[in-house]
Structures are given as C-alpha cells and as structure tokens.
Amino acid sequence: MEGAKLEIIQKSTLKELAKEVFQIESDSILRLKDRLNENLEEAVSTIINTKGRVIVTGMGKSGLIGRKIAATLSSTGTPSYFLHPAESTHGDSGIITREDVVIAISNSGETLELLNLLPLIKRFEVPLIVLAGNKNSTLGKCADIYFDISVEKEACPLGKAPTASTTATLAMGDAIAICLLKQRGFSTEDFLLYHPSGALGKGVLYMVKDLMLKDVNLLPIAKEEDTFIETVDLISKKKLGCALIVNNENKLTGLITDGDIRRILLRYPDVSILKNNQVMTKNPKTISGGDMATKALAFMEKYSITSLAVCDENNCPIGLIHIHDLLKAGIA
C-alpha cells in the first residue's frame, strides 16, 4: 500500500513460516484417519455399484480441488466429470442422470450454488456424497454419505485463504479414488488405456514383444560348437553387439558380447582354436515377450547390460531387445 512500510522478513523466518504451513497441512490430513468409519465403505460400494458416472461439483477453491478429484477418479477406472455449480443452473445440470453419483465439496456446507443443485439431486434420487467441514450444515444434513474434512485452522495466517482445508479435501478424494482402484482390481495394463501418451503411458504402452527384433533371419544365433572366430564374424555382420549361443536343442545356453570379445582377445594368446562353449557367458539373463518393456529396462539397469535375449517357455530364443529399442520408444 502507498505510504505503508513493508516489513522485510528474514530468510530464517520465511523457512520457519513454510515449515509451519507444512505442519498445519500435514496435521489436517492425519486427523482424517480418525474420522474414517463406515462412510468409506459405503461410498466405495455406492460408486462401484452405480451404472452411471461420478459427478463432482464444488465452487471456488473447492471446485479446483473437485476438478483434480474428478480427474484422478477418471484416470484410475471410475468415469467422472466435474460440474461447475454456477453453470449448472443455466442448463449444465442436465449432465446429471438418475444413474449417477454426486460428490459435492464445500467447506462451509452452505455454498449457495451447490444448494441450488439439491432439488434436482433429490428429485432424481441420486446418491449424494458430501465432503464438508460442518455436518450440521445444509449440505451435511442432505448427504447420504458424509465425510468430515474440517480443519482446526488454515495455514493462512489470516485464517481466510483455503489452504489446510483444501489439502485435506484433496487427500480425502485421493483416498476414495485409490480405494476404488483397488476394489476394481485396476491393473497396470488398465492404466495404459487411460494414459496412452506421455511419460505415464509409455511405461505401460509396450510389451517386450512389441519392441524386440523378432525376425529369426536377423537374430545373431550361433551354436555352442561353432568357433569363436565364426561368432565374431556373425556379431560383426548382424551389428547387434552380441550373439545368442544355443545347444543342439536350440535352447539358449550362453551369450557372447562385444565386451566379451575384447576380454577374450586379451586373455587367450590363440583364439583360433576356441569354441563358443569355452568362452561364452553361461546362463545369460533373459526375458519373456509378454513382459512389459519397463521390466526389460529395469533388468538392463540392474545388471549393467545393453541387450536381453527374449525366450519362449522352453528357453528357446525368439527375439532380442536392445537398449536402443527402448530409447526409440521413449521408455529409457
């Protein structure tokens, strides 16, 4: 303000203030644990058994939190939409059907725009789940299922800006979403369907069989009894940095890599007499074509290798996956 003196806050004081915010907000979340009762089971059961969707609504900061809760529900297997309560009275309330569930968020429980939705909700006999800070409020009394998200105090020193209360509300929404996820048996593969792009989706978008080299004619496969020199020539021609060594039954028994070649040349004065079974790395790491590509990456990182043989149930090689394949797919 003009003419007012600004108080300069010391860095140490700022840190203490930030720590106090963390403490207040974390306490507000932890207190929710003691308030859980049959309301959680009722909410999960109600949402699981609904034939429609979850309609989340809230005004102001509660609305912003509601958007996040709706997004989390949708991305974890529970179809959900956010309904802006102010727009609902101008036609948007038509999004609510008799088969839906409504989650209404209001710290006071007296938000006028939400109260205007009550006649429609009750007329359609739509289950109403309320997240509010006052059970005796209008919304609290109308709730079929009530969650107490009240806080002892806001982190805002003025006690005005929603801070701890919105944090607690978001945490409660996350808890409901994760309980629904577990109840539905929502898997990593299911997650792919809702996150086909971006960093989240790429981790579950591909299986090993989608990325591996699977053309048998291109695979660098050599026999145990082949000479080391022949295998070096094979590795050079195939340009994959390794050779898969198999026995007479075509089962994978070993591996020879570019690194192995260097070590073998340093160790043996005459490599012309060597057979693959004398110098190969025995029992190499393998992976299944049905495994997720992220598992292949984890193997490579754990064992400091750049490629993996892909084998069938009989341990016969059917492909090869290289770190470059993972890089091209955006996984590594």
Return the CATH number at 307. 3.10.580.10
* Residue numbers of the domain that contains 287: 208-328
CATH code of 34's domain: 3.40.50.10490
Is residue 2 assigned to a domain?
no
Q: Does 147 lie in the same domain as 76?
A: yes
Q: What is the mean pLDDT of residues 53-79?
A: 94
What is residue 86's predicted lDDT score, i.e. its pLDDT? 86
Is residue 202 assigned to a domain?
no
For residues 326 and 211, is the Cβ–Cβ distance under 8 A?
yes
What is residue 4's predicted lDDT score, i.e. its pLDDT? 47
What is residue 13's predicted lDDT score, i.e. its pLDDT? 86
Give residue for tokens 């989706």: 201
Q: Does 173 lie in the same domain as 277?
A: no
* CA–CA distance, 62 with 171 (Å, rounded to integer): 13
Number of domains observed in the structure of the chain = 2
Q: Is the pLDDT of residue 206 over 60?
A: yes
Residues 6+ apart with CB under 8 A from 139: 104, 106, 109, 110, 111, 114, 115, 118, 130, 132
Q: Does 59 lie in the same domain as 18?
A: yes
What is residue 92's predicted lDDT score, i.e. its pLDDT? 63
Is residue 196 assigned to a domain?
no
Q: Does 286 lie in the same domain as 154?
A: no
C-alpha dihedral (289, 292, 297, 298), degrees to nearest 10: -110
Q: Does 177 lie in the same domain as 97?
A: yes
CA 122 vs CA 90, 114, 144, 206, 273: distances in Å: 18, 13, 10, 46, 87
What is residue 201's predicted lDDT score, i.e. its pLDDT? 55
* Strands ordered across the beta sheet of 145-148: 80-83, 54-58, 101-106, 128-132, 145-148
Give residue for tokens 């790429």: 202
Q: Does 213 lie in the same domain as 146?
A: no
What is residue 1's predicted lDDT score, i.e. its pLDDT? 43
Q: Does 166 lie in the same domain as 290?
A: no
Is residue 299 assigned to a domain?
yes
What is residue 207's DSSP assignment? B
Q: Is the pLDDT of residue 12 over 90?
A: no
Q: Does 232 lie in the same domain as 130?
A: no
Is residue 193 assigned to a domain?
no
Instruction: Return the higher-pLDDT residue of 101 and 7.
Output: 101
* CA–CA distance, 235 with 219 (Å, rounded to integer): 10
- pLDDT band, very low/low/confident/very high, at 14 (cuts 50, 70, 90): confident
- pLDDT band, very low/low/confident/very high, at 331 (cuts 50, 70, 90): confident
Is residue 203 assigned to a domain?
no
Is residue 194 assigned to a domain?
no
Q: What is the mean pLDDT of residues 6-24?
A: 81
Number of neighbouring beta carbons within 10 Å of residue 311: 19
Q: What is the mean pLDDT of residues 178-201?
A: 70
Q: What is the mean pLDDT of residues 157-168?
A: 90
- pLDDT band, very low/low/confident/very high, at 7 (cuts 50, 70, 90): low
